[in-house]
Structure 1
Amino acid sequence: MASPDITGGIPAIDHHSHASMARFRTVDQIDRQFATAHLEANVSAQTYAAFITARNAADTATLELLEQQHGTETLMRQGLEFRSTTFFARALREGTRRLYGPDKTWDAIEATAQDWGTRHPTYSYEQASRVANTPVILTDVPRIDHTVWDRQRYRQIMRIDPYVYAFHPGQTEELRGTEFQRFHGGFANVLRQELQHDGMTEPPARFDDYIQFMDASLERRVRAGVVGLKIASAYVRPINFEPASAEAARTAYEGLAAGRAVDRQPFEDFVIQRAAQYAADHGLPMQIHVGMGHPEPGMRISNSAPFLLETFLNIKSLNRLRVTLLHGGYPFSSHVAALVQTYGNVFLDFSWMPYLHHAYLRLKLSEWMEILPANKLLFGSDAGAPEFHVAAAHYARQALNDVLHDGCERGVWDARQADWLAKRILWENSAELYGIDPKDVTGTPAGQERAAALAH
């Protein structure tokens, strides 16, 4: 028996997405992006790296040669078949149906998706936002063109990691997969663009000059519209950010600039704390990735364990820094709740989970909502594809309906509290954290008329 629709009609703020980052991809292409682990485990590291390089470059000749020599495409098809039983695969197709037409045949749905993909760059995501009832979307992207993407709906979260890894080669011979290299490559690209903005081709030799550059870059980007900062460093190192003095950071930085092999961590930790202090002083929330990453080797999951953050969270000057731990911290979901319960300035986002877990999300929501204050839990999608944006909103609402109804049946909450919790989790908590005007959420969704206009 279905639970009452407690969340029906309540708008949502997507606290964590990657809207505007991804180009149009078919369902098959999205599936393939997340199905490389089986291939990686059945070919040499060199063959896997060659496959990823050729795939990213759309080098069909090399891909055909790799299939002939190593069976790479055959392994990819096997991986896709094995992953077809996951909730991820189910959610992708459900989101696709809900977005493009639940009553259409699959062929008609694919034709509609292809058509939308040829329209205005924002068209598909505007339709997804309408279907999901998400008038505001916080998007973690390196850049966002607000002449194309509506400023009121799409609000940028900026990663500070590019500033942390000056002079990092971004290569390792030790780790499997390509995640480590891919993240370092992305960090390096952003840093290069920021340096070029200030007329530099590489980081300055002097530490003080680099810090001056970083401070000015942060300030400029926040003035341009960034509403929050993010740390994604769990993909490339442990998140045990320790206090570091300026002198220790200077020694490390200037050693790296001179090409010496030195311990990078004092410099990295100093930059992270400085950016966090900037966020605290300017009222900017900070998101931190905790828990596992993508379904491909490269990230060490132990590097992302939430309790590694305890020293960072105990820095006295950061007591007013509003920190959100992302993705429910899976598989450390109870550990994350312990930190959020302990620290009044720490919050919990469950993006990514609605389209990866089904029963588990309900279980953890029940645990979190019973132990955490009403202002601590945030909905998010972690979606770069509009299909997953719709799926995340649908399954999050479904899970909340079930947990709230069950809690009312057990006497944990009364009907008024259940309704209040639904609104707090779906949008009010994010609105308070980021200073978002409630009218932008509960009024006419920003850009809805624009989406209708684009349809013509």
Structure 2
Amino acid sequence: MSHGNATYRIWLELLSEKPVYSTHEHHMESHKQQQLNLDRLFNQSYVGWCKPAPANDRDLRAAWLDGIRTNTYFSWLQKALCRIYDVDEITADNWDDLSVRISAAHRNPDWHLDVMKEHGGYAGFLEDCYWDSGSDVGYPEFVTPIYRLDMWMMGFHAESLTNEGTSAHALFAQPPSFEAYMERFEEELRGRRGRIVGLKCASAYQRTIGFQAASREEAANVFGKHPSETTQAERNAFGDYVLARGLELAEALELPVQFHTGLAQLSGSSPMLMEPLIAAHPRNRFVLFHGGFPWIYETAALAHNYGNVVIDINWLPLISTSAAIHALNTYIDVLRDNGSIAWGGDTWTGEEGVGASMAFRHILAKALSERVEDGSWTAKDAERFADKIMFENTLRIYGLESKRSLFVYE
């Protein structure tokens, strides 16, 4: 074993004893978790984005596993399942037995959170419940909600839906006027302030994140038009106006705003497209998700030039572990303040959440051990940074100081 590898393992062991507080999950409610088996776990994860798990056929499963085994989505979910259920690897031969064990474990309605706590070291997380925005999925002591802006940004018409099929018009008993719509939007944000700690914009899945200035008149002119009667420019203008109003409210309510950047609609999801918006709103805190992958340098440049930018590397260690190590080292180098970086798992299930935590601890141990090994940092420097990115920054950025009592460890 090389000295460097030994140093990495020392750091990985140290980090495994520390808690994490995730900035971003899509964690499903308990009754949905209780329906899980191995097939559903695969399909309710990023593994399913690659290719759905095959039907109940040994040869098809063997071929599927052979093809996907090197993908990082699969490898970290497999590592989590091996840790939780004490198996060496997933094979076509043990598939059904493991599936039965997963299903049996989930008869305990709290199993999904128990595994995150015990095997993932989670002390809590922020929830982006896009199907019921602002929900804590029934676990207020462990889960803190974020509220999505997208259904309002897309809501110029009741049939204009978000990427997930949601609409702000579901909140109205009767079709609203534009004025009533905007009034309700403000009421929603102000009324939820005591329960939510941030806002989220995931528009990159449906449109460019090159947001532009738009007038109230432009937005009002689009409101009420059927989607088939609008142009993309008109739809964007409506969303741009609502977002601008959302940023005003976020500033007044002291809420950070999370933005999906990177992998989505690739032609319009580069974080650099957001520079004019970031520059125009210096008193808003912009949290750029996923490291902006694949534009990791662009994200670093924005954080270098703008003090109101926070880099969140949630999802990135699962997308590409090697890219996440490189990105983390880059961000460490260029950040104005190392309090402006955070991490989240960005998963739906307890098991995949464990895999996300394992991936994060791996990339962090890699980065820290290399810096200590080559003398760039002292061990004290490295551990101080670890505490910041693992939980301290999240508590401060989102005003969760009351949660600090959760972070008592040996």
| TM-score where L is the length of structure 1 | 0.76
The 3-state SS of whatever aligns with 2:140 is coil
Q: Secondary structure at the match of 1:136?
A: strand
The match for 2:81 among 96, 120, 141 is 96
Note the alpha carbon deviations across 1:183-239, whole angstroms, 9 max, x for none.
435232xx24322xxx33x3x2x321211121112223334x121110000000001
Superposed, 1:45-194 pairs within 5 Å as 81-101=66-86, 109-120=98-109, 122-142=110-130, 143=132, 149-167=138-156, 183-188=162-167, 191-194=168-171
Contact 1:355–1:392 (Cα < 8 Å) also in 2: yes
CA 1:385/1:284 → structure 2, altered by over 3 Å: closer, same or farther? same
Deviations 1:17-44 (A, max 9, x none): 11235544333233345567787xxxxx
Q: Which amino acid aligns with 1:229?
A: L
- Name the aligned partner's letter for residue 112 of structure 1: R
Q: Does 1:313 align with 2:278?
A: yes
Contact between 2:149 and 2:199, CA under 8 Å: does it hold in 1?
yes
In structure 2, relative to structure 1, the CA distance for the partners of 1:309 and 1:170 (3 Å cut) is farther
- Mark the runs of 5 or more structure 1 residues left unpaired by the alignment: 40-51, 56-62, 65-73, 172-180, 294-299, 445-456
Whether the 8 Å contact between 1:329 and 1:336 is mirrored in structure 2 is yes
How many angstroms apart in 1 are the aligned matches of 2:327 and 2:338?
15
Question: How big is the alpha-carbon RMSD for the aligned residues of Structure 1 and Structure 2?
Answer: 3.1
Runs of 5+ consecutive residues of structure 2 not aligned to the other structure: none
Q: Which amino acid aligns with 1:209?
A: A
Counterpart in 2 of 1:10? Answer: 18
- Tell me the percent identity: 25
Inter-partner Cα distance in structure 2 for 1:411 and 1:375: 22
Q: Distance in 1 between matches of 2:262 and 2:330?
A: 18
Check whether the contact 2:129–2:135 (CA below 8 A) recurs between aligned residues: no
**Deviations, residues 56-105 of structure 1 (Å, cap 9, x unaligned):** xxxxxxx99xxxxxxxxx99996665323312111111111222335899
**Which runs of structure 2 are paired with 1:412-423 in the superposition (5 Å)?**
412-423=376-387
Give 2:309's match in structure 1, choosing from 326, 337, 346.
346
Instruction: In structure 1, give the amino acid aligned to 2:171.
Output: E
Are 2:345 and 2:356, in contact at CA under 8 Å, matched by a contact in 1?
yes
How far apart are the structure 1 equivalents of 2:266 and 2:274? 14
Distance 1:15 1:259, change over 3 A: closer
> 1:420 deviation in Å?
0.5
- The one-letter code of the counterpart of 2:28 is S
Match of 1:245 in 2: 215
In the TM superposition, residue 309 of structure 1 has moved relative to its aligned partner by: 0.5
Answer yes or no: is the 8 Å Cα contact 2:39–2:99 preserved in 1: no
Distance 1:77 1:227, change over 3 A: farther
Q: What secondary structure does 2:122 align onto? A: coil
Give the Å deviation of 1:301: 0.9
Instruction: Say yes or no: does 1:276 pair with 2:264.
Output: no
**Aligned residues of 2:159 and 2:226 also touching (Cα < 8 A):** no
* TM-score under structure 2 length normalisation: 0.84
Summarize the alignment of residues 382-421 of structure 1 with structure 2, pairs less than 5 Å apart: 382-421=346-385
> Aligned equivalents of 1:126 and 1:434: distance in 2?
24
Measured in 1, the distance between the counterparts of 2:88 and 2:220 equals 62
Contact 2:153 2:243 in 1 (8 A): yes
Task: Give me the whole-angstrom Cα distance separating, in 1, the residues matched to 2:289 and 2:61.
Answer: 30
* 1:353 Cα offset (Å): 2.0
Which residue identity lines up with residue 334 of structure 1 in the other structure? Answer: Y
The answer to whether the 8 A contact 1:355-1:388 is kept is: no
SS of match in other structure, 1:184: coil
Task: Name the CA shift for 1:328/1:75 in 2 (closer, same or farther; >3 Å).
Answer: farther
